A and B are shown apart, each in its own frame.
Chain A
Amino acid sequence: MTTPLLQVEHLRVQPPGAERPILEDVSTVIRAGERVALVGPSGAGKTTLLRALNGSVRALSGRILFNGIQLDDRSSRILRQVRRGMAVIPQKHDLVENLKVYHNVMAGALGRWSNAHALRFLFWQTASELDEARHALDRVEMANKLHDSAGKLSGGQQQRVAIARALVQKPLLILADEPVASLDPRMARQVLELLCKLAEDDGVALLCTLHQPELAREYFPRTLEMRDGKLTTDSAGQAPVAPTRSAGEAPAWTPGNA
């Protein structure tokens, strides 16, 4: 009924410097709008899988198809096209602290901006661009921090800005790397609720690594479990979930509308 958004086939990955492959024969499918948790002990290869999905680490073999495009990290055009549809919320938030919050939020739009546009926005911002940034920040309840310096924010605030950056990117898939790893249980639930709500509102697929299986069961209809670089369990077999929207209807982004 719905087309697969992301297809991973027999993926083997050995990051530079690793003695043996970290991922061994990983295959799975994520459909448009689906919310998936990726669980497993640390060192299982969860982060490496996320990095491989957006082309930050090269595969030894196997292939990744995203929205009909085969990922090829040797072609920077294809790489950028794939990355544009896939927003990453890094574990350490990774904001550029010397820039303003609005710069960091709108960095999500870099993939669709020309270089000249990007250069202009550094120094001169139009009202509509600032509105877009404010709107994204509003959704993570941070609109009042629009003009702050990113370096002045607390860790939690920085994470929300990183989420707003992902929203501005208007992706088809959000990859969130351990978004609650350093939070207390109450805060962790708040952040997961927010992420799931935002993903649901926009009809965006969400792949989120976690190491608490109970949180995964609570917030995610489908859970993938990893152990020693292999996918061991996929809850989809037992309870397949109908995604809310299909890839064809997904907003804003289609391949090639650069």
Chain B
Amino acid sequence: MRWQVMTGRLAASVMSLILALAGLFASQAASAEDVLRVGMIPDAGATQVSVEQKAPLQAYLEKALGRKVKLIIPTNYNATVEGLDNGSLDIAYLGGLTYVKAHARAQVIPLVQRKTDREFHALFITQPDSGINTLADLKGKRFAFGDINSTSGHLMPYRALIKAGVDPDKDLKFRYTGSHPATIKAVAAGVVDAGACDETVYHAMINAHKVDPNKVKVFYTTPAFVDYVWVARKGLPASTREAVIEAFLSLKAHKDEKILTILRGKSFVRANDQEYDAIRSTAKKLGLF
């Protein structure tokens, strides 16, 4: 009998907990109206905390555009593109290959990019004592690509490997880690023998001591290619697009250091579609587009 009374009380407290949660929930729901939804590919891991680390960027955009901004980091590149296509994202940050696909599927409009994106490189990294010094040494090794849609984490390294006579499908035991930091950490931890990643993410992680510099080394750098770009969805008003472009172009070194660190760049320039023709043809050739 006593036991029943007790469980009854316990159950009542569970119910009130649920109701309390419902209340909290109410405070969480942001009004969907007039929020600019900004999507970022999960190039640096997509956690609640990483969204919060990007808070200065959000604050800057809100101030520059005069409206609420919500940063959303989907769990993969594909979801970002579909989000642009069905209108659940207004502007987004895409890699080169993802841009090419998003342009074809959803007619997204390129806005701006970092100066470095015009001449970007992918890095091949390994452990210092792995004995891997050239691409040819990779044969038979465990290898990490980033996201399957990544330009610097998959497409361009893939091309470099083919050119060096290494067929990833036959000669490598490869996996997709889903992001550049994951690739770098997987190499540092020895989970794989080598990997390919984005140069800016690599240097940012080394500088911030997020990875031990004694556990990784770069053994090959790809030729330059065009990579990341900020885009707008097809239906976004031109005035909003211009405001976003203006906000990025007016970022200045020294003055906006915090935001530029988050974006891993020094200054921004306008972007256009023709730059990506080379990526388009490479992707087609490799069967990724």
Instruction: Report A-B touching, CB under 8 Å.
Output: no
**Chain B residues with a Cβ under 8 A of chain A:** none
